[in-house]
Amino acid sequence: MNISLKNGDLLQVDDGATAYDAALKISEGLARNAVAAKVNGALKDLSCKLCEGDALELVTLKDAEGLDVYRHTCSHVLAQALKTIYPTCKLAIGPTIENGFYYDVDFKTPISMEDFEKIEAEMKAIIKSNLPIERFTLPRDEAIAFMKRYHETYKVELIKDLPADAEISFYKQGTFVDLCRGPHLPSTGKIKAFKLVSIAGAYWRGDEKKKMLTRIYGTAFAKKEEMEEYFRRLEEAKKRDHIKLGRELKLFALLPEGKGFPFFLPNGMILKNKLIDYWRQLHRREGYVEVQTPMIMTRSLWENSGHWDHYKDNMYTTKIDGEDYAVKPMNCPGGMLVYKLAPHSYKDLPIRMGELGLVHRHEKSGQLHGLMRVRCFTQDDAHIFMLPEQITAEIKGVVRLIDEVYSLFGFKYYVELSTRPEDSMGSDEDWENATNALKKALEELKLPYIVNEGDGAFYGPKIDFHLEDCIGRTWQCGTIQLDFQMPQRFDLEYTGEDGEKHRPIMIHRVIFGSIERFIGILIEHYAGKFPVWLSPVQVKVLPITDRAADYAVSLVEEMEKVGLRAEADLRKEKIGRKILDAENEKVPYKLIIGDKEMESGSVSVRKRGAGDIGSMTKDDFIALVVEEDENKVIF
Catalytic residue set: 332, 361, 379, 381, 383, 462, 508
Start-to-end C-alpha separation, the chain: 62
> Quick check: helix, strand or coil at residue 2?
strand
- C-alpha 488/C-alpha 426 separation (Å) is 10
Tell me how far CA of residue 470 lies from CA of 16, 194, 246, 473, 528, in angstroms: 50, 25, 18, 8, 13
- C-alpha 501/C-alpha 487 separation (Å) is 13
- Please tell me whether the peptide bond between 87 and the residue prior to it is cis, using omega within 30 degrees of 0: no
Pinpoint the alpha helices (H) of 343-460.
391-408, 428-444
What is the residue type of 261?
A: F
- C-alpha 428/C-alpha 420 separation (Å) is 9
- C-alpha 45/C-alpha 12 separation (Å) is 20
- C-alpha 218/C-alpha 150 separation (Å) is 25
3-state secondary structure 307-352: HHHHHHHHCCEEEECCEEEEECCCCHHHHHHHHHCCCCEHHHCCEE
Residue 113: left if φ>0, alpha if ψ -120 to 50, beta else—which one? Answer: alpha
* DSSP sequence for 193-236: EEEEEEEEEEEGGG-TTSPEEEEEEEEEESSHHHHHHHHHHHHH
> Quick check: helix, strand or coil at residue 4?
strand
- C-alpha 604/C-alpha 616 separation (Å) is 7
CA nearest neighbour of 331 among 378, 286, 288: 378
Residue 430 C-beta-side C-alpha neighbours within 13 Å? 19
- Angle formed by the axes of helices 140-149 and 153-160, nearest 10°: 170
CA nearest neighbour of 77 among 136, 134, 48, 119: 119
Contact 163, 157 (CB under 8 A): no
CA nearest neighbour of 510 among 405, 408, 430: 405
- C-alpha 154/C-alpha 598 separation (Å) is 77
